[in-house]
Amino acid sequence: MEVSKRLHFIVITSIFFGLILNIIEIFLFNQFAKPPIVLMILIYWTLAYPNFVSLGYAFIVGIIMDIVQFMPLGHSALSFSLTIFLTIQFHPQIRLHSYINKMISILFLLVPYFIISTWLINFYGMSLNINNIVFSLIASIVLWPIIFVCLRFLRIKYVY
């Protein structure tokens, strides 16, 4: 199999696995912290291969997330697309950072996602607690090294 076909297969498989994790609610403190695992998987693949995984993936996965979560169509697509756009813009700088600095960079990439999501949820008239957003952001930063190491292992083992 060609490298690009293997790459797309691994990316789609990992995104599907992230969707499964979002659906089955695996986290202990799920009422308080719900990190966007699928978005973090997209961020990783965008940092690794910005020419292969880009806004098209983000928009399609966002639409799928909207369908899965029963949100209005376009909510996650807009948030994911903006976050991946920022990732593409800053990926040369982020790739050179150490692990701690990458975590801080991911924090700054996820803040606009949470701001847009919060704004859209308030626009729809749904109630939202700011503490849940802060806990979700902290959980995302804590989970980033685990996601990074797992996806890097997949990339090294199956893509090359």
Neighbours of 67 (CB within 10 A): 11
Please report, rounded to a whole number, the percentage of residues in the chain having pLDDT higher than 70: 94
| Residue-level pLDDT at 158 | 84
Q: What is the mean pLDDT of residues 28-52?
A: 86
| Residue-level pLDDT at 156 | 92
- How is residue 95 written in tokens? 């790739």
Name the one residue in this structure whose structure tokens are 């691994």.
Answer: 10
**Amino acid letter for position 77:** A
**Average pLDDT, rounded, for the chain:** 89
Q: What is the mean pLDDT of residues 60-71?
A: 92
- How is residue 90 written in tokens? 């800053």
> Is residue 144 very low, low, confident or very high in pLDDT (cuts 50, 70, 90)?
very high
Classify burial at 80, counting beta carbons within 10 Å of its beta carbon; exposed 0-12, middle 13-18, buried 19 or more: buried
| Residue-level pLDDT at 28 | 55
**Which residue, among 32, 53, 67, 5, has the nearest Cα to 140 in the 3D structure?**
32
Q: What is the mean pLDDT of residues 99-118?
A: 92
| Residue-level pLDDT at 159 | 79
- CA 59 to chain centroid, in Å, comes to 12
Through-space distance between the first and last CA atoms of the chain, rounded to whole angstroms: 11
Q: What is the mean pLDDT of residues 134-160?
A: 91
**Which residue, among 3, 13, 30, 52, has the nearest Cα to 150 in the 3D structure?**
13
DSSP classification of residue 68: H
> Is residue 30 very low, low, confident or very high in pLDDT (cuts 50, 70, 90)?
low
